[in-house]
Structure 1
Amino acid sequence: MKTGVVILGHGSRAEEAKRVFNEIISMIKEKVNYEIVRGASMELAEPNLEQTIETIADKVDKISIVPLFLFPGIHIQEDIPGLIDELREEYPEIEFEFGENIGADEKIADIMVDRIEKVV
């Protein structure tokens, strides 16, 4: 089974935000062993989730959608699951999985401590 990974961000019109998102996607690609790793945005930027799925659908049997969201807000709870349900109907031959948002992770606290120490 060939798996594709889609990192789903919120999206932004700001060029700097797009650059940082793409840089994170590049870092992830270097750290995983999946041939297909793509970024997608919920809104305000392209490619969106549907566009990204369309470009990889004929190359995979399974797509893991992993949100680059810190908090479990409305996108995580409702919007993204709804989009995935629509994708399952459009691509019944593909298995879709939805990963967890980042949440309260010790690594986030470590990053924040590092940032605090830089300004204190």
Structure 2
Amino acid sequence: MKAIILFGHGARDSRWREPFDRLASLWHEQYPQTPVELAFLEMMQPSLEDAVAALSARGVSDLTIVPVFFGQGGHLRNDFPVLLEECRGKFPKITLSATPAVGEDLAVLQAIIDFGARAL
């Protein structure tokens, strides 16, 4: 079974999480057969390892992690690869892969331009 983790930075203010919860809900509505979990780098739960563990318990064998970051800064270049390798070591029966940061995708950038254009 395949699944997806939407991976964000995390913040002290719990309201920061609200768009991530909406994003996960939209995913679930549009792809109900593919489980989705949220995970956060810091300050919020679940951690990446906890999210992988939860999906593993559901029988997931192929997991894609989508960093919901605007770009490939230090966290994605330095911290995320370490966390990903730790999860690969702890969950060897799960194939773990990751996409680039969502902000590096042309369609995402175009959606932001379109959003701005609608505000004019």
TM-score category, normalised to shorter length: 0.7 to 0.9
Look up the match of 1:74: 74
RMSD (Å), alpha carbons: 1.9
CA distance in 1, matches of 2:93, 2:85: 13
CA distance in 1, matches of 2:52, 2:118: 41
Cα offset, 1:117, TM superposition: 4.8
TM (norm. structure 2) is: 0.85
Look up the match of 1:36: 35
Report whether the alignment pairs 1:101 with 2:106: no
1:51-89 deviations in whole A, cap 9, x for unaligned?
111111131111111110111111221211111111111
Mean Cα displacement is larger for which, 28-37 or 72-81? 28-37
TM (norm. structure 1) is: 0.85
CA distance in 2, matches of 1:66, 1:46: 16
Aligned sequence identity (%): 24
Look up the match of 1:60: 60
> Which stretches in structure 2 are left out of the alignment for 5+ residues?
none
Alignment CA distance shift 1:115-1:16 (3 Å): farther
Look up the match of 2:49: 50
CA distance in 1, matches of 2:107, 2:61: 33
Q: SS of the counterpart of 1:69?
A: coil
Contact 1:60 1:94 in 2 (8 A): yes
Cα offset, 1:15, TM superposition: 2.4
Q: SS of the counterpart of 1:22?
A: helix
Cα offset, 1:104, TM superposition: 5.3
Mean Cα displacement is larger for which, 100-109 or 53-62? 100-109
Contact 1:5 1:34 in 2 (8 A): no
> Which stretches in structure 1 are left out of the alignment for 5+ residues?
none
Look up the match of 2:26: 27
Alignment CA distance shift 1:117-1:63 (3 Å): closer
Superposition pairs for residues 106-117 of structure 1, below 5 Å? 106-115=107-116, 117=118
Report whether the alignment pairs 1:13 with 2:28: no
CA distance in 1, matches of 2:9, 2:30: 22
1:5 maps to amino acid: I
Corresponding residue pairs, total: 118
